[in-house]
Amino acid sequence: MSKIRLIPYEIDEIYESTTEVPEGVHLIQAPDAWEEAEQGKGNVIAIIDTGCQTDHPDLKDRIVGGRNFTDDYNGDENNYEDNNGHGTHVAGTVAASPVQDNGVYGVAPSADLLIIKVLSEDGSGEYQWIIDGIHYAIDWEGKNGEKVRAISMSLGGPTDIPELYEAVKRAVDEKISVVCAAGNEGDDRHDTNEHGYPGAYNEVIQVGAINFKKEIAPFSNSNDEIDVVAPGVNILSTYLEGKYAKLSGTSMATPHVSGALALVANISEKQFNRRLTEAELYAQLVRRTVPLGYPKSAEGNGLLALDILNQFERLFQSFTQTYKSVSSDKIRPAIKRS
pLDDT at 337: 38
pLDDT in tens, the chain (338 residues): 568 888 878 888 898 888 889 999 999 999 999 999 999 999 999 999 999 999 999 999 999 999 999 999 999 999 999 999 999 999 999 999 998 778 999 999 999 999 999 999 999 999 999 999 999 999 999 999 999 999 999 999 888 999 999 999 999 999 999 999 998 888 888 888 888 899 999 999 999 999 999 999 999 999 999 999 999 999 999 999 999 999 999 999 999 999 999 999 999 999 999 999 999 999 999 999 999 999 999 999 999 999 998 876 666 565 555 545 544 454 444 444 33
Distance CA 198, CA 166 (A): 11
End-to-end CA distance of the chain: 92
Alpha helices in the chain (DSSP H): 23-27, 30-37, 86-95, 127-139, 162-173, 250-272, 278-287, 296-299, 308-328
CA of residue 102 relative to chain centroid, distance: 23
Rg for the chain, CA atoms, rounded = 21
- Taking a C-beta distance cutoff of 8 angstroms, is the pair 182, 212 a contact? no
Which residues, at least 6 apart from 100, have a Cβ–Cβ distance to it below 8 Å?
A: none
CB 20 within 8 A of CB 236: yes
What are the angstrom distances between the C-alpha of 285 and each of 173, 275, 305, 308, 323?
A: 18, 15, 9, 11, 31
Describe the crossing of helices 278-287 and 250-272 by its angle, rounded to 10 degrees.
110
245 has which bridge partners?
A: 14, 237
pLDDT at 55: 97
Catalytic residues: 49, 86, 251
Q: What is the pTM of this model?
A: 0.91
Segment (H or E) for 337: none
| Residue-range domains of the chain with CATH | 4-328 (3.40.50.200)
The answer to whether 22 and 13 are in contact (CB under 8 A) is: no
Question: CB burial class (10 A; 0-12, 13-18, 19+) of residue 104?
Answer: buried
Question: How many residues does this entry show for the chain?
Answer: 338
Rounded to whole angstroms, the Cα distance separating 298 from 240 reads 32
Please tell me whether residue 334 adopts helix, strand or coil conformation: coil
Q: What backbone phi and psi angles, to 5 degrees, belong to 80?
A: -115, 35
Question: Could you tell me if 60 and 54 are in contact, meaning their C-beta atoms sit under 8 angstroms apart?
Answer: yes
Q: What is the DSSP letter of 144?
A: T
Helix (H, G, I), strand (E, B), or coil: what is residue 93?
A: helix
